[in-house]
Amino acid sequence: QTQGGRPSASTGWVGGGGWWVENSERRTYLNVRVKLSLFLLQLLHVYDLLTFDNPDGGAWKQGFEIRYQENEWDETPLELFLVPHSHNDPGWLKTFNSYYQDQTKHILNNMLIKLSEDHRRKMIWAEISYFSKWWNDIDEQKREMVKRLVGAGQLELVTGGWVMPDEANSHYFALLDQLMEGHQWLQKHLGVRPSSGWAVDPFGHSPSMTYLLKGAGLNNMVIQRVHYAVKKHFARQQTLEFLWRQSWDSSPRSDITCHMMPFYSYDVPHTCGPNPPITEQNVRERALLLLDQYRQKSRLFRSPVLLVPLGDDFRFTESSEWDAQFRNYQKLFDYFEQHPELHIKARFGTLSDYFEALHRRLNATGTTLPTLRGDFFTYADRDDHYWSGFFTSRPFYKRLDRALESTLRYGHEILFSLTLADMRRFRGDGRLVADFPGHEHFRRLTEARRNLALFQHHDAVTGTARDPVVVDYGTRWLLPVSTLVLQSSAHWLLLLDKSQYHHDQSKPFLQMDDVMSAQDALPQKTPLVLSDAPRSLIIFNPTEQLRTSVISVVIDSPDARVIEAETGRPMTAQISAVWAEPSRASADSFQVRTDQELIYFMSSFSLCLILPCVFSSSPSSLNFLLFLKTFYLFYFEIQKLRLQSGLVRQVQVQFLWYGTRSGVNRDKSGAYLFLPGEEGAQLYSSSEPPLIRVSRGPVFSDITSCFRHFTHTLRLLHLDGHAGRSLEISNMVDIRSEVNRELAMRLVSNVANGNRFYSDLNGFQMQQRRTLEKLPLQANFYPMTSASFLQDSSSRLSLLSAQSQAVASLRPGELVLDRRLQQDDNRGLGQGVTDNKLTASLYHLLLEDRRGGAQVTASVEHLSLLAHLTSLSLCHPPITMVAPSDSQLPKLRPFRPLRSSLPCDVHLLNLRTLEDAQEAESPSQEVALLLHRKGFDCSSAPEPMPQCTWSSARQQQPRITRLRPMEISAYRVEID
């Protein structure tokens, strides 16, 4: 507008329906609410916009000054929900049981009393692991009190997972499994299903978790640990509440309403408002002071409905704290109610209360929340303190976690479910055979599920718990994830004559090939003693497709041959040394490897026999060379990968050291943080030449380099088809002699990927990453659960991993292998990371052509079909069992429950026996069938083509379901 040709006022949009009007005297804020059009946020684009300069924001250090007008809420009062909570870590500074005895049970006991005293009091609880343990300790009268509180809406169970899981390192199998364990417990004991998620302490957030929550029936969620600069940007734009959508989904099917807490932490000082101090005044002064904080916080959101958490770690342990919080806040709420001129309605609430009011207000005003795609890694809570260290901390246990997931899925869940069904079919009356310990095995299985679920906690798989707590996690694993369920199930399924079945726990019919003697020891192969009688091997294929794999066992003689039991066909075998020391081969143990085509599906058993040779082999049949390399940096030499198409890419493998910052008063790397020294990465060097071992043979060829801190092996498998297309890389790392150092492996290639690369999120989906020079080195490391790749217009180089760790593309790609750090990084742990073990890591490196003018910088990408199959084989290696050596071995038969392979892009995630609704801790006749159809990149077609299909368009068979790409579906079924 103009007056006399001169501008009289200017206007500006402040977001969320607010405009400012400025004249020469003052700026006036008008609370104009308008309908906002839908818009899409890409977190990749947000990172491009942010400067990450971190200026001092005043009272709100990481934010900005917030202003408002007193009359903004005159027409629509502020509606406030104060949500009491107590965050209980299932292990961190204390073990799970110690926390429960010292704190958690007192919190829950007091909750029962204090909520019952006043119907206006409310609380939320997230960790079902603790809640179920407490439930087992209370009597029936108290259980009925709990049910009344839940039914009245005073107590809400949020998320419903066994734990509040880490979202960076955990695989989606484990994330889903712990969620199912918690939800099934809630359904059985309380008859409820959570509707809202609560993830206030995981160190960054993944859309994979939101997909699982939405699939489990949740519609809303709260998150907290997001980079402070991202929070500030979202607060300015009033986009702290949004619809979180999967990057690969163009529809709103996967959308979930997400509330991001705006401030530093989820504790009391950082939840009421941006200016923490609240002085002890009379009730009016305290009420007005809090009201000011609430009003300031509400200006960061698009609706006048405000969520204010009230709690912290292990709060409300003492009865006096319950009284102080509830009584004092109720006085403030009563004061607000007695003074309607303040235009605020405040009360205790739950997440359901808050989100119900939020959606009601948004619908009434026609306000639409923005849609967001992307993830919230890597997290920083202040300055340049990026939490990229925990992506790798305690890699021994990260590797063990994945191995035990595979054992639980196949050896316990799937085989057990198939065994129960087969027994019921055999008997014909729906019952199990009398000798089979079905109830005991189901209890073991339940314990194994829950202990694996416990390790997904955000201070467990992350490697951020104290040393005794880590030992407790490992010990819990070792006992219930025993092989008894697997051995008993395999025994039944393999027997040709079922009447010969007899269960003897002290003398299992089948023995495991790999044995783990302690929770901190690597699995070791048990040597087979050969005699005149052949030794029978039973090989399990845990995947749902036909595959060719190399099977390795240790024997006591270099003179052996392998035949296929069913046909008597001799099999190609390669005998190699077992190394007692880097330069000394064992005299009484030898490794025999054979390539075996494994029939589709998890429980197809291939049988082969190992017999002594009828002739004497010469020592050269071991077929290895041993020498010292005088050129110390042997493994730095440029190597070439060449495809049959003619595509050639150079690949260089290097090893690096990272140190940490120096200086007395400077923050240093610890369990959570990665704060490298100013010198950056330093190439690994050795004062002594490495010992080099070279093996060649019909099954594999490899080169092993032995250094002081690691043993590095490159192996090429001579297998037909797609199984032989990748290069196997393995490391055995030992940095226990080091002080404040981190060992990394770098892959240098001439793939022209620019500053972009892709890493996976939880093994479920791929996420584009950008290496940004405006960010410090540690900010450019991201979590890699199972895969990462670089690509240009003609090629893709994928690295598939058997364990989670940190990954970066700092020109070349880097992986952090292990970390040994002497100090705490001031995030509460109170110790460094010094309990390092001898740690194994395993990868497959895959080079592929890209065809058809494939995009280089697409924001949504998938692994290729070949990479999916390779990753599946890497994460689920064949399981080998050994039959007795005596001649009285009963006749065995392969067990093949499927007529054909599942399609290449369909993964049988689990076949999980459900608990009997009538008989506690007993298996029912129903199982949960979980199927995942994977999305894959079409620009790389595997050659030769695999023997599975990925399109059902030509198949005219009846179908019971249809899966979209990327979709996970769950079914309650009975196996006939």
Q: Are 821 and 740 in contact (CB under 8 A)?
A: yes
Neighbours of 555 (CB within 10 A): 22
Q: Which helix (H) or strand (E) holds 554?
A: strand 547-555
Helix-helix angle 140-151:105-117, to 10 degrees: 60
The whole-angstrom separation of Cα 279 and Cα 267 is 17
Q: Is the dihedral of CA 257, 263, 264, 270 positive or negative?
A: negative
Structural tokens at position 472: 């407790």
| Of 210, 200, 201, nearest in space to 372 by CA | 210
CB neighbours of residue 855 within 10 Å? 12
How is residue 564 written in tokens? 């296929």
As a whole number of angstroms, the distance between CA 299 and CA 17 comes to 11
CB 329 within 8 A of CB 268: no
> Which candidate in 89, 166, 177, 201 is catalytic?
201
The answer to whether the CB of 747 falls within 8 A of the CB of 653 is: yes
DSSP string, 78-89: EEEEEEEEEE--
Residues 786/194, Cβ–Cβ less than 8 Å:
no
Strands (DSSP E) along 782-922, which ranges?
782-784, 787-791, 795-801, 805-809, 813-820, 839-849, 879-882, 906-915
Q: Phi and psi dihedrals of 146, rounded to 5?
A: -60, -45
Omega cis (within 30) before 961: no
For residues 655 and 646, give the distance between their C-alpha atoms in angstroms, rounded to a whole number.
29
CA proximity to 776, closest of 397, 386, 451: 386
Alpha helices for 152-282 (secondary structure H): 172-189, 207-215, 228-236
- Pairwise CA distance, residues 508 & 487, whole Å: 7
Which of helix, strand or coil describes residue 946?
Answer: coil
Cα–Cα distance measured from residue 486 to residue 652, given in angstroms and rounded to the nearest whole number:
42
What radius of gyration, in Å, describes the C-alpha atoms of the chain?
30
Q: What is the β-pairing status of strands 155-157 and 123-125? A: parallel
Verify whether residue 56 is a known catalytic residue: no
Q: Which residues are catalytic?
A: 201
